[in-house]
Amino acid sequence: MGFGIQTTSSQSQWDLMREFVEREGRAAAVVDGGLATELERHGADLNDLLWSAKCLLSSPHLIRQVHLDYLEAGADVIITASYQATIQGFQAKGFSREEGENLLRRSVEIAIEARDSYYNRCAECSSNDTGAGRILQRRPILVAASVGSYGAYLADGSEYSGDYGDAITLETLKDFHLRRVQVLAESGPDLIAFETIPNKLEAQAYAEILEEEDIKIPAWFCFNSKNGVNVVNGDSILECASIAESCKKVVSVGINCTPPRLIRELILSIKKVSKKPIVIYPNSGERYDAEQKQWVQNTGVSDEDFVSYVNRWCEVGASLVGGCCRTTPNTIKAIYRTLSSRSAPALLP
């Protein structure tokens, strides 16, 4: 990755980022924010079953720009535009299997290109923080390949309910995700981010794929919750986090796309069953209307209120903090500033 330190594996890239953040005295590493929100702000039309993955076809330059915006806001981890990118989804749009696999690879390539561009900008700048408010600091940056749930592929909002019906079994989910995970892992990311996991069954499917296929790239598991006690389908967060804890391929477990007000209790619950670093990237708190396929305005919190939670999350054990749907580079920059001003005696155990 070119930090002046030779590394030999993706696992060591993860370790390198942890060590850098700790040396900086930051309370946690910074994850990026919402992708679709920013793509739309840049003019992308995401009214499509592929959602943000549509831009892999129509406007990859916008994806690259959003990645760059988050890096300049202080993100240590950028997540690829593959959340809703599946081979099956691309085939439904008329693409061949090979073309679908190439688009998955492209999602990782775009993020790597953005990281390279960011490093070039850092090399051209004499200070870490320019007058324009950009954070230009050469640091370990991880590219996390996003894997969205089966419900995300369905594009019917079921990633927010976890209700797939009795016909969907463990083997169904493994068959659905297997090739996608293999392709992403082979594309050069530093991490695989399994996001918005809505039930225990899908977590088990991911864990078995990672172990049975001996995937060499480390992963994190992030669940979503509506009540701060269970994941969205009603399964216990304790049971879900236990699956992540028992999988040797998983290096971090946490919560994403969940209202900020619920996060503290979820961290405390995860800590009861897991010793792995906890990753937290909530949404803005806005409510998603699955029928209208849009976020309900004025149901979330401001950036100021969102960031007010950050220290509380770190105090109870969060090791990586960012944002999900409806958060922006301004949110992430505020998180970076907050974490940079807070000491971290026991960061990322």
Single-letter residue type at 114: A
* Residue 122 among known ligand-binding residues: no
* Residue 222 among known ligand-binding residues: no
Q: Which of 100, 35, 101, 45 is nearest to 68 (CA)?
A: 35
Backbone region of residue 62 per phi and psi (left: phi > 0; alpha: psi in -120 to 50; beta: other values): alpha
Single-letter residue type at 183: V
Most distant CA pair in the chain, distance? 59
Q: Which of 70, 74, 81, 69 is nearest to 108 (CA)?
A: 81
Which residue is associated with the tokens 């493994």?
A: 174
Query: What is the DSSP pairing of strand 278-281 with strand 29-30?
Result: unpaired
- H or E stretch including 239? helix 237-246
* Residue 240 among known ligand-binding residues: no
Angle 286-143-115 from CA coordinates, rounded to 5°:
105
Q: Are 345 and 315 in contact (CB under 8 A)?
A: no
Task: List phi, psi (to 5°) of 166.
Answer: -70, -20
Single-letter residue type at 154: L
Bind-site residues: 257, 324-325
Bind-site residues for Zn(2+): 257, 324-325
